[in-house]
Structure 1
Amino acid sequence: MTMTTQARLDGDASTIGRPTPQVNAQEKLTGRALYGGDFRTPGMLHLKVLRSPYAHARIISIDTAAASALPGVHAVLTGDDTPDRLTGVHRKQHRILATSKVRFVGEEVVAVAAIDEDTARDALDLVRVEYEPLPLVHNMDEALSPGTIEVHESTGNLSIEYKVERGDVDSAFARAALVHEATYETTSQYPGYLEPMATVAWVEGDGRLVVRASTQTAFLQRNRFAEALGLPVSAVRVIQSTVGGAFGGKTVEECNSLICAWMAYRLGRPVRFVNSRLDDFLGARSSPAERIWLKMGVDNQGLIIAKEVKILADCGAYEGLATHVLQVSLVRSDNMHRYLKDVRLHGRLAFTNHPPRGAVRGFGGPQAAFALNSHMAELAEKLGIDPVEFMRRNAVRAGDTTVHGFELGSAGLTECLDQVSEGIGWITKKARRPDTGLKRRGIGFAGAIHVSGNREMGNWDGSIVTARMTTDGRVTLSTGESDMGQGAYTMLAQCCASELAIPVSHVTVLPTDTDVSPYGHGSIASRVTILAGNAAIRAGREIRGRLLALASETLGVPEGDLTVSGGEIFATSALPNRRLTFGELARMHIYRHGGEELRVTATYDPPTFLAMSRPDQYGNVAPGYSFAAQAVEVEVDTETGQVEILETFVSDDCGKAINPLAVHGQTCGAAAMSIGWALYEEMKFQDCQLLNGNFADYTMPTAESLPNIQSGIIESLEPNGPYGAKGASETAMLPGAAAIANAVYDAVGVRIRELPITPEKILAGLREQEATAAARERRHA
């Protein structure tokens, strides 16, 4: 904690760096928390949507007469009833409901509002839609082939293309001692949150639209509703409900809240819309599938000096945030390499008739990390270098400016590597004799980089916190950022409480409400701790300054002779028995001539650069960068191809761990999510129809299938961060898949370059090994 020269603070009161229970844990555990689907209001109608059974088709006609006549039905509306403006995160591509054409199975075509959910479902069964099926764009290769039908007219099925080149790449490859190239493929991952999207919306007496939604970006949602419905932003209010997990999927792309908002505004009645799990699989945004071709060159010292990347990604029927996801996959992982100066990047994003893809935890980082770390393990083997040593040689350090202009005030990648190596016993386990039995053990390693904040929307990546001291001496904080289960409100309460030397329980962080909260982008890009945390500290310090000034005036004591502790201010030497409570001072702040409530607003906007506005994508986009490393020990059954994770250790460089309890919990959760993506999770399609849109068929890791996840924290102390903190846990999602792939290779010699790592792929690799060995024997016979 930074000490002030104006007054002394009771350092023992601070919880910074101490395990601290979540401030909203009790209301969740007792069932008092109001999630999106829990809210009820008199006269509320229930909304359901009819989704397209076709992946690509023209809508010939829609007959809603029978549905409209069903008792209890209040509205049956189609795309023709919606505003004729197009909506979308960046490119405006679709109406609120589909009109002339559907582009994926599950696209919303008809919306029904009825007195209860059963009636709404019955009404959907009565709607008759005539479609004219169109040829499908099955995959991203087909999408960009000449003559393929277009998902969106005049696009050639190319959503966006990036080209970035730095230095003399061809020359760098020419002088490399070793060059290796390979292709890797990743699949789409469903966010997998417990609570599907849920929204309640209504129109108030003054005609303003109010939307209560489980969103992680309330202000961005408000802008979207206003734009789509043709309303002034001031006519829309968004209230964040308690969020039952988000993992990126509840940003600003999903259509549940948009359709609900429009129906409520159209009818002037409260409307509730809760996705079924299948609705959510179809309507949520999964991560883009990517094919990554990677070529890297190293010198004779084992230093990475040249890199070329080509990525083809599938954004599905609408692009949304997938354009930014691709940019992250292309650019960000390059910034792990300290000596890399020559790089060439080419990325293309293709429209297909799959459901739309977008933001999921890690935001393009997991795809790149899988390819990069698999590639580095192969390079290390060819060089005869231990893979951890190879990564350590090339790891960036604090003070470096990377190939893409990232300025690293802190960088704990090397420390993460060391912590994980020691934690899992890397040296001992790598030195053991290879297994030759049916079950064989192997160990793998991987590292990753992620941002803490990202200047990409306009030229502002700030955060604003308003602090208000009530007349009992306690504090309420308002923020436009959100807590989606990751502990953001606890962190903000800790920062403010530390500056005022009061218990965390004396600080209440209010849910985001666009009518009363200061503006904020929301919980994206691991930005809340480093940005909102700094703003909360500034707000706490300003309140403390006002309290000290008033106490100094009242007690007749210089501020430097005052101590702040336990919600009181008292003289340190003179007048030792004179003390004023925060409550007394808050009342005095009001009840005096010209007095006012003790309220402050503080802003933090970091010294970063809007790199995405430049064609070369160069610049320092974040105030801090987080790093992680993970090691995994597996056992592979050579008869069944089954992979069992025996042990794993993940290390998270989060700067200062403001709340180690939350960091460990979120880091372990991120590792679990990466294990699922690596081994189990795959959205399966047949003719663009999702085949496993439920938790029975979409396999996610259960508690019994997960190992005991060990996690460690590296406190690299970020100069731009609150108390040295930066983003935590999202980075820990990135290295897991590659670590597992590298461990499988170490165990059985089968290199899996296409996720997920299934038993079938392992067995196919083992059969190929046997065939190759047999052919070699025949040649030498």
Structure 2
Amino acid sequence: MTKPTADTQATPPEPHSTLGLEIPQVTARAKVLGRAIYAGDIKLPGMLHGKVLRSPYPHARIVSIDTSAARALPGVKAVLTGADAPATLWGVHHKERAVLARDVVRYCGEEVAAVAAISDEIARDALDLIQVEYEELPAILTTVEAMDEDAPGVHPGRDNVAHEIRFERGDVDAGFAAAHLVHEATYTTHSQYPGYMEPMATVAALDPDGRLVLWTSTQAVNLVRVQVAATLGLPVSRVRVVQATTGGGFGGKIVEDDNQLVAGLLALRTGRPVRLVNNRLEDFQACCASVPEQITLKLGMDREGTIVAKQVRIVAECGAYAGLAGDVMHVSAMRSDNMHRNPNVRSHATLYYTNNPPRGAFRGFGGTQMLFALNSHLHTMAEQLGLDPAAVHKRNAVAVGETTVHGWHIGSTGLVECIDQATDAIGWAGKRQQQGKGTGVKRRGVGMAAAMHVSGNRTIGNWDGATVIVKINEDGRVFVISGECDMGQGATTMISQVVAHELGLPLADVYVVPPDTDVAPVAVGSLASRVTMSAGNAAIVAVRKARDELFALAAPRWNVAPEALAIGGGAVYVASEPAQRATMAELARAHIWRHGGGGIQVSGSWDPKTVMHDDQLFGNIAAAYSFAAQAVEVEVDTETGRVTVLDSYVADDCGKALNPIAVHGQTNGATVQAIGWALYEQLHYEGGRLANGNFADYTMATADAVPMLRGGFVESNDPNGPYGAKGASETAILPGAPAIANAVYDAIGVRIHDLPITPEKVLAALRAMKKEGADHA
């Protein structure tokens, strides 16, 4: 290697940015080499292995539990039941769940007892020795049963309504009266299991001071800490939560799982570390799948396809415990209203308890359900008016600078551009004219759909911000401390990119410390596509403070103002005389060893100027709103009913693509999940018992079911986003199911209102259409 000359040393570093480049995730190498430490990988001295006994009934009274044989088994260190657990109930909004069931079980899979033993095998044997006598009770398994006035309450002393939303804007009745076309239909959507690679896992232990420490797979370390402390009766400062490498979350690992509570309780009772890892069946039973909804949608349009009135009735199910399901239903009830200019909307949504497993957060968070109904509906009405569905979408699309019917301020939108990009990519205009094209029994069709989502959400409480700490080490490298979690979506990479860009450093010189509630600032967590917006902006604030400290330290050296300095290549230098330079390492050391010195460690916070909605659900709740559109081509086999997706293109308005390869990765993953939900995935219950709780029987979309995934993005450059960026993790899942449903209709002329679109439903619809045609002949 040639040694730099004086001249080359005096040359300022080449302008370089980590933004906008296709950068592999900074965590990728550790994962592919098998070095990443997941919660299930952690081994501590004296560690015990936890197992949970779950209810075999959807509803039953616990008559008695005999744990004597299990306790007597050599190697067993604890057997706990509801009598040994805290009486404090837990839950997101309704405190209604016990750590271990007391007196009654309300769904098949509910936690009844927990064991800690010196090995997995002994713990499993101990579960078999626990004798539970149940008195089976009548179970409410459908919302129809739950709605019956004579139905018993799933929770005694109250009816089966877990949450209810009503609102009306404008004059809906007048809007319908003036409409040229009014169409009403009912759609049903089903639960989808998150399907992450890593099941839920926690290792819990007491530190030397007796504090409870949890290493866990989570999207929100601070929410877990608060919940564990409150439920187990500990001061919050006596609980430490560290995020282990997390193998996917998709909403399922926010704060609705009992795993951390049971692991923590076992550690407290035994005084030893306890590892509790769900097997796949347990994860199917314990993790909240998405909220199933029945949506009755009524729309009015004028002759040109302008929406003039909208009415929605939603009946949703949360299962035995409400969790975040009410928040999910809230999104279904009103978010899509903001995608269009229609001033007249009315919504009534009701969430019901049943004796099914709890439902809750899932990627898209209620948007998927309503956008299936809305996009299907718009396509139907466009055809009745003789209009192109894409044109109808664009005609009604909200524009930059507008305030929506619910008070949302649209600072940026690429919705129209997304629609054009996606439809052009699959040859929409030409293929639409060839409805049902194909030879023999196989028919092809095209469909499209559009969607919107949020980048942040001021609804959990009146704070949606983030705080990031930047620490410049004595070697010139940088540590970044944040409480926001990376569950595979790339939060760590995004924060690294921001800091490296601002300081002109290579990405390898920036390290984001895994979230740890003992040292990290309070954070909401990875949900509502908020991390890029809130943590990205907070990182900018923090790193610019750190840069200013470096400039303030360096400026007296050359008797210049701090404004005359620049930074890059690991050094601070005078912009007009680059030879006058000092390395960041040199400055960091100098900052310590002086009167009043110390390490360079700064904190930056950012909270969007959003407005929490009022009691009428009105308010600008997000800093930015993202949009997407998808166009697909399918082939339908009219003999077997099988639907095959031949082509797919998703256009995602991400504001600014800070890392294009990451945006494409998120889009492709979301697209596959949407294909699975639309065509393949379905949880089958028999009398309230899950019959397909494994990846062999729960049919997810595999490689042979997915076409070459194509997509692009629209950079609308949001004024509130970091460098114009918005969230890019969830929006792309929203249009997939309706785009496929619309394409199926285009291919064979039948409209499937109920997901998933199975071969059986397709064949039944074709038979019904054929019979109707014969009846009219």
TM-score in terms of structure 2 length: 0.98
Flag the 1:160–1:433 CA change in 2: closer, same or farther, 3 A.
closer
Shift of 1:655: 0.2
CA–CA distance in 2 between the matches of 1:302 and 1:382?
10
Q: How many Å separate the matches in 2 of 1:681 and 1:571?
A: 60
Match for 1:69 among 72, 75, 79? Answer: 72
% identical equivalent positions: 57
Tell me if the contact between 2:657 and 2:663 (Cα under 8 Å) persists in the aligned partners.
yes
Report the counterpart of residue 516 of structure 2 in structure 1: 513
Instruction: Determine if contact 1:652/1:729 at 8 Å carries over to the other structure.
Output: no
Q: 2:556 — aligned with what?
A: 553
Give the CA deviation at 1:301.
2.5
Is the partner of 1:663 in helix, strand or coil?
helix
> Alignment partner for residue 248 of structure 1, among 245, 248, 251?
251
For residues 580 and 241 of structure 2, the distance between their equivalents in structure 1, rounded to whole angstroms, comes to: 46
Aligned residue number for residue 579 of structure 1: 581
Contact 1:135 1:149 in 2 (8 A): no
Tell me whether 1:671 sits opposite 2:640 in the alignment: no
**Kept after mapping to 2: 8 A contact 1:218/1:238:** yes
> Of residues 217, 221, 225 in structure 2, which corresponds to 1:218?
221
> Which position in structure 2 is the counterpart of 1:114?
117
| SS across alignment from 2:290 | coil
In 2, distance between residues paired with 1:506 and 1:555?
27
CA–CA distance in 2 between the matches of 1:581 and 1:109?
60
Q: State the Cα distance separating 1:571 from its structure 2 match.
A: 2.0
Asked whether the 8 Å contact 2:436–2:748 carries over to 1, the reply is no
Shift of 1:295: 0.3
1:704-715 to structure 2, matched below 5 A, reads: 704-715=704-715
Aligned-partner residue type, residue 388 of structure 1: A
Alignment check: 8 A CA contact 2:435 2:444 kept = no
State the partner residue of 2:610.
608
Distance of 2:168 and 2:675 partners within structure 1:
33
Give 2:618's aligned amino acid.
Answer: Y
SS in 1 for 2:579: coil
* Alignment deviations for residues 611-636 of structure 1 (CA, whole Å, 9 cap, x no partner): 1xx22101100000010000110000
Distance 2:225 2:14 in 1: 41
Secondary structure of 1:292 counterpart: strand
* Partner SS, residue 313 of structure 1: strand
Deviations 1:354-391 (A, max 9, x none): 00000011100100110000000001011110000010
Deviation at 1:9, TM superposition (A): 9.6
- Aligned equivalents of 1:432, 1:151: Cα separation in 2: 52
Q: Equivalent of 1:496, from 496, 499, 504?
A: 499
Offset, 1:425: 1.1
Secondary structure of 1:440's counterpart equals: strand
When residues 11 and 58 of structure 1 are mapped into structure 2, their CA distance, relative to the original with a 3 A threshold, is farther
The equivalent of 1:358 in structure 2 is 360
Tell me which residue corresponds to 1:723.
723
Preserved CA contact (<8 Å) 2:498 2:539: yes
2:374 is aligned to 372
Tell me what 1:4 maps to: none
- Deviations 1:222-259, CA, capped at 9 Å, x for gaps: 00000001110000000000000110100000111111
Give 1:433 deviation, angstroms: 5.6
Partners in 2 of 1:145 and 1:313 — Cα distance?
Answer: 15
Aligned with 2:475: secondary structure? Answer: coil
Answer yes or no: is 1:134 the counterpart of 2:137. yes
Taking the aligned partners of 2:575 and 2:227, their CA distance within structure 1 comes to: 54
Residue in structure 1 matched with residue 483 of structure 2 by the alignment: 480
Counterpart of 1:650, as a letter, is V
The SS at the match of 1:212 is: strand
| RMSD, aligned CA | 1.1
**Alignment-derived partner of residue 683 in structure 2:** 683
The 2-side partners of 1:377 and 1:197 are apart by 40
C-alpha offsets along residues 258-317 of structure 1, whole Å, 9 cap, x if unaligned?
110111112211000000100000000000110000000112231111000000001000
Q: Does 1:292 align with 2:306?
A: no
- Partner SS for 1:222: helix
> What is the letter of the counterpart of residue 223 of structure 1?
V
Tell me, yes or no, if the aligned pair for 1:470 and 1:583 is still in contact at 8 Å: yes
Aligned counterpart, 1:279: 282
Aligned to 2:639: 639
Matched, 1:51 2:54: yes
Task: Single out whichever of 74-83 and 147-156 deviates more from structure 2.
Answer: 147-156
Q: Which amino acid aligns with 1:462?
A: G
Deviations 1:29-51 (A, max 9, x none): 11010011000000000000100
SS in 1 for 2:359: coil
Q: Give, as a single letter, the amino acid of the residue that structure 1 aligns with 2:357.
A: P
1:3 paired residue number? none
Aligned match for 1:259, one of 256, 259, 262: 262
TM-superposed deviation, 1:413: 0.5
* C-alpha distance in structure 2 between counterparts of 1:604 and 1:560, whole Å: 24
Q: For 1:424-452, what per-residue CA distance to the aligned partner results, in whole angstroms no more than 9, with x for missing partners? A: 11111112364363000000000001000
Residues 579 and 10 (structure 1 numbering): CA distance in 2 closer, same or farther, change over 3 Å?
Answer: closer
The Cα shift of 1:10 comes to 6.4
Q: How many angstroms does 1:11 deviate by?
A: 7.5
The C-alpha deviation readout for 1:498-552, integer Å capped at 9, x for no partner, is 1111111111001000000111011000000011000111111111111111111
AA matched with 1:429: K
The answer to whether the 8 Å contact 1:678/1:755 transfers is yes
Write the distance in 2 (CA, Å) between the matches of 1:573 and 1:537: 25
Letter in 1 for 2:591: H
Q: Work out whether 1:35 is the aligned partner of 2:44.
A: no
Letter in 2 for 1:308: Q
1:412 aligns with 414
Would you say the 8 A contact 2:489–2:729 is kept in 1?
no
SS in structure 1 of the partner of residue 750 of structure 2 = coil
Q: Measure the CA separation in 2 of the matches of 1:686 and 1:425.
A: 44
1:455-487 CA distance string (max 9 Å, x none): 112211101100000001111101110000011
Number of equivalent positions: 766
Is the counterpart of residue 443 in structure 1 residue 446 in structure 2?
A: yes
Letter in 2 for 1:670: A
Whether the aligned pair in 2 keeps the contact of 1:136 and 1:149 (CA below 8 Å) is no
| In 2: Cα distance, 1:433 partner to 1:241 partner | 51
Cα contact 2:435–2:445 (8 A) shared by 1:
no
Residue 92, structure 1, aligned to residue 114, structure 2: no
Q: Is the 8 A contact 1:497 1:540 kept in 2?
A: no
Match of 1:158 in 2: 161
The letter of the residue matching 2:264 is: A
Matching residue's letter, 1:674: A
Whether the 8 Å contact between 2:78 and 2:117 is mirrored in structure 1 is yes
Q: C-alpha distance in 1, partners of 2:402/2:507?
A: 37
Kept in 2: contact 1:73–1:114 (CA 8 A): yes
C-alpha contact 2:682 2:756 (8 A) present in aligned 1: yes
- In the alignment, the residues of structure 2 paired with residue 20 and residue 534 of structure 1 have an alpha-carbon distance, to the nearest angstrom, of 20
In the alignment, the residues of structure 1 paired with residue 520 and residue 566 of structure 2 have an alpha-carbon distance, to the nearest angstrom, of: 32
Paired residues of 2:504 and 2:567 also in contact (CA < 8 A): yes
- 2:366 counterpart letter in structure 1: G
State how far apart, in whole Å, the 1-side matches of 2:406 and 2:128 are: 54
- Contact 1:529–1:725 (CA under 8 A) maintained in structure 2: yes
Structure 2 alignment gaps of length 5 or more: 1-10
The answer to whether the 8 A contact 1:180-1:295 is kept is yes
Alignment partners' CA distance in 2, 1:706 and 1:346:
37
1:689-700 mapped onto 2 (5 Å cutoff): 689-700=689-700
- Inter-partner Cα distance in structure 2 for 1:11 and 1:295: 59
Deviations 1:724-770 (A, max 9, x none): 00100310000000000000000001100000000000000111111
Deviation at 1:149, TM superposition (A): 2.0
How many angstroms apart in 2 are the aligned matches of 1:523 and 1:558? 40
SS at match of 1:578: strand
* Letter of the structure 1 residue corresponding to residue 97 of structure 2: H
Question: What secondary structure is seen at the aligned counterpart in 2 of 1:12?
Answer: coil
- Counterpart among 419, 433, 442 of residue 431 in structure 1: 433
Which amino acid letter does the alignment assign opposite residue 361 of structure 2?
A
**Distance in 1, Cα, partners of 2:71 & 2:759:** 51
For the residues of structure 1 that align with 2:616 and 2:708, how far apart are their CA atoms?
A: 43
TM-score (ref. length: structure 1): 0.97
